[in-house]
A and B are shown apart, each in its own frame.
Chain A
Amino acid sequence: MVGLGVLATLPHTFIAIFSPYFKLALSPGNLTPGTRVTAQWTQIGGSGIMDEMTLTLIGEEVATYKQGTDTRTAKSSFHHQLLKQSTRRDEIVNGRTEFVIPADSLPSFESDHNEVRWFLLHEVKVSKRPDVRDEVPLTIHPHSESDFR
């Protein structure tokens, strides 16, 4: 059964090798709540007819817990903000957008079993190919001491 499953995914995996792939750059690199950010994406390889792209800012809780002998993970999204959506090919291949990290947002947090994570989800629909779905993690730091003076 497991072997059949692996065989079934092989063609999909193989085709995905030729899918478009992108570089996503953020400026500035040091993020805190309220920071204005520029995100810039560029296709750096692969090919395919790209129909649509979206860029979404997502914040989510991730909790890991033991249940019997299993380790389970639960996720709950608390922030979902569409930053960019385009069907223009030139914008899908190369583009930029600006956004602001919400001023009242919770910074990133990570401990052994609990996490608050932020990431940019970059999705591109590609005809007759697996869609592109890249998660780019963002580390949002707490406010610095000077912010409270």
Chain B
Amino acid sequence: MNARAPQDGPLQIELDHFHLQPFQELRGRLRQTGAITATSLRLRLFWFTRGRGDEDAEVIAEHEVTLDQAEQPFSFLLPAGPYSFAGQLITLAWAIELVDEKEHSLDLVPFLLSPTGEEIQLETEQASSHKKSFWKKITAFRK
């Protein structure tokens, strides 16, 4: 899984829609525009985080791809969540990624998943960063 967008290659992911709701069917196609050396291809549906915290990601579904035409349609049934959101510390995004047998990313297309199809914006009310130290625990306790 690689959340960086690769350069244009011989295979490109195209999605019908980029703003989707939970439980909808995500539809798209793989378009072949050049010669392919990969012996095995897989399409992944996954979410990943970005931001202050160490990055997390989870593959929700994966399809083996057989290219027998220049345009290969695909679809994924979307889950209940998690929703796409952008906060002060964490951003969660969804994407479809095409990988070869060596786990190299051939293409990646992000999309949004939420009840409105938009990214949920978290407004900050109070931000703090702290390293838990014994001294801080004591001073907080004594307030």
Residues of A within 8 A of B126 (CB): 76-77, 80
Instruction: Specify which chain A residues have a CB less than 8 angstroms from the CB of B7 in the assembled complex.
Output: none
Identity of the chain B residue whose Cβ is nearest the Cβ of A144 in the assembled complex: B80
A61-B89 contact given A74-B129, A75-B128, CB 8 Å threshold: yes
A59 cross-chain contacts in B, Cβ below 8 A: 122
A145 to B77, CA, bound (A): 12
- CB interface residues, A 23-65, toward B, < 8 Å: 59, 61-65
Q: Is B90 an interface residue (CB 8 A)?
A: yes
Is the CB–CB distance between B142 and A113 below 8 Å? Answer: no
User: In chain B, what residue has the closest Cβ to A143?
Assistant: B115
Fill in one digit per residue for B100-143: 1 if any A CB lies within 8 Å of its CB, else 0.
Answer: 00000000000000011000101111111111101100100110
A111 to B124 Cα, complex, angstroms: 21
Tell me which residues across on chain B come within 8 A of A141, comparing CB atoms. 80
Shortest beta-carbon distance from A41 to chain B in Å: 23
Q: Is A97 an interface residue (CB 8 A)?
A: no
Stretch at the interface among A2-10, A88-96, A120-128: A2-10
The answer on a CB contact under 8 Å between A142 and B54 is no
Q: Does B92 contact A (CB under 8 A)?
A: yes
User: CA of A101 to CA of B56 in the docked complex: distance in angstroms?
Assistant: 27
B87: Cβ under 8 A from any A Cβ: yes
Known interface pairs A74-B128, A111-B58, A148-B115. Does A63 touch B52 (Cβ–Cβ under 8 Å)? yes
Most buried by A among B58, B115, B142: B115
Whether A148 and B23, one on each chain, are in contact in the complex, defined by CB atoms closer than 8 angstroms, is yes
B82 touches A142 (CB 8 A): yes
Q: Is the pair B88, A5 in contact by a Cβ cutoff of 8 Å?
A: no
B54 to chain A minimum Cβ distance, whole angstroms, is: 4
- Give me 13 A-to-B residue pairs in the complex whose CB atoms sit less than 8 angstroms apart, sorted by A's number: A61-B122, A65-B52, A65-B54, A74-B89, A74-B128, A78-B87, A79-B125, A111-B49, A112-B56, A142-B80, A144-B80, A145-B23, A148-B115
Residues of A bordering B, CB below 8 Å: 2, 5, 8-9, 12, 59, 61-66, 70, 72-80, 104, 106-107, 109, 111-114, 116, 141-145, 147-148
Beyond contacts A80-B125, A114-B49: 6 other A-B pairs, Cβ-Cβ < 8 A, are: A5-B135, A63-B53, A66-B54, A78-B87, A113-B49, A113-B54
Interface residues of B (CB under 8 A from A): 21-24, 49, 51-56, 58, 80-83, 85, 87-90, 92, 115-116, 120, 122-132, 134-135, 138, 141-142
